[in-house]
């Protein structure tokens, strides 16, 4: 446990690890399990690079850039997923799916977010399918069905899942023809605000594999440009919204978590296909340390704590 932070002596010490600094502010800190756990994790993360039991300035800079700055200076990106005509009033109108949800209802809260929250970056994803895409039910006879598929082409219905043959058999949910490249149905809805300097990311362009996530195709064979663009913008926090909650929004959120971003799904800015699938998606996000919030809970991050503030100021001064 930490009993005192001593700016005059050898720095901040916890176990065998100490911060070396003569400029730390002087005040007492009440011991806490949270602080002890923080320093335990800090030790394990290996910021004492030369293993001398001390954190020198170079090691602190490494710690700052890899850990602390990510917490106290987050960069946020908003991913607006597939708010396209076909999902709102076109061939894959969500109101005709089992959850009977109205995709048009996401536009007002998304626009309000874009007007009121200063995101560091905004991305719009678009399903962008070729006409012979594997997910279209009317293309089912273009490909051989694998012998393990319980559904044959003549019996297939929209939203069924079949198994197509290939070097690696692929399970594929069958959808109505939707978001065909350069069609009206593939356009973003006219009432959706598109901010200046936003970036559009196109997915589902390979006819042989579907792409729910804005990061990867469903086989995880080929990525979009999004991951590199987030890295280039030094994004730490990813907010996700759009259509459909239990399909492309959920897949994108889970991939963002897997990559290592703090991930927040904005629930009132989403609508979905199936209520049970939406609940499963929500639980998966929460179980993997993502967050699910309402749009009125989203605001620029603010970290204030009477114990931490002097140290945060110090961290800013050396960054």
Peptide bond preceding 202 in cis form (omega within 30 of 0): no
Which is the catalytic residue, given 97, 127, 203, 237? 203
Residue 171 pairs with which residues in a beta bridge? Answer: 163
Contact 224, 215 (CB under 8 A): yes
**Residue found under tokens 């919030």:** 293
**Would residue 269 show up in a list of annotated catalytic residues for this protein?**
no
Rg (CA), the chain: 24
| Residues contacting residue 83 through CB under 8 Å, at least 6 positions apart | 103, 106, 107, 110, 124, 188, 189, 192, 242, 243
**Would residue 292 show up in a list of annotated catalytic residues for this protein?**
no
Which is the catalytic residue, given 17, 63, 248, 292? 248
Which is the catalytic residue, given 13, 63, 82, 97? 82
**Would residue 179 show up in a list of annotated catalytic residues for this protein?**
no
Distance, CA of 178 to CA of 184 (rounded, Å): 10
Residues known to be catalytic: 82, 203, 248
């Amino acid at each position: 446990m930490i009993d005192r932070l001593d700016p005059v002596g050898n720095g901040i010490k916890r176990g065998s690890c100490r911060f070396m600094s003569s400029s730390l502010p002087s005040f007492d800190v009440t011991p806490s399990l949270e602080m002890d756990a923080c320093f335990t994790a800090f030790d394990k993360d290996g910021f004492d690079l030369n293993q001398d039991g001390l954190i020198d300035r170079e090691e602190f800079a490494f710690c700052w850039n890899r850990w602390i700055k990510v917490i106290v200076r987050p960069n946020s990106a908003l991913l607006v997923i597939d708010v396209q005509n076909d999902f709102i009033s076109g061939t894959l109108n969500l109101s005709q799916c089992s959850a009977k949800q109205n995709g048009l209802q996401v536009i007002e809260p998304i626009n309000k977010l874009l007007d009121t929250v200063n995101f560091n970056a905004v991305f719009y994803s678009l399903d962008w399918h070729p006409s012979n895409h594997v997910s279209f039910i009317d293309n089912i006879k273009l490909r051989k069905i694998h012998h393990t598929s319980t559904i044959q082409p003549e019996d297939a219905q929209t939203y069924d899942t079949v198994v197509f043959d290939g070097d690696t058999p692929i399970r594929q949910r069958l959808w109505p023809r939707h978001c065909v490249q350069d069609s009206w149905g593939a356009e973003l809805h006219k009432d959706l605000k598109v901010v200046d300097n936003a970036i559009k990311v196109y997915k589902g362009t390979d006819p042989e594999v579907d792409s729910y996530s804005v990061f990867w195709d469903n086989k995880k064979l080929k990525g979009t440009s999004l991951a590199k663009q987030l890295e280039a913008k030094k994004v730490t926090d990813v907010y996700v919204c759009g259509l459909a909650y239990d399909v492309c929004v959920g897949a994108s959120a889970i991939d963002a978590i897997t990559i290592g971003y703090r991930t927040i799904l904005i629930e009132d800015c989403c609508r979905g296909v199936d209520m049970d699938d939406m609940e499963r998606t929500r639980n998966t996000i929460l179980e993997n340390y993502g967050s699910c919030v309402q749009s009125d809970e989203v605001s620029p991050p603010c970290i204030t704590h009477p114990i931490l503030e002097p140290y945060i100021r110090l961290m800013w001064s050396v960054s």
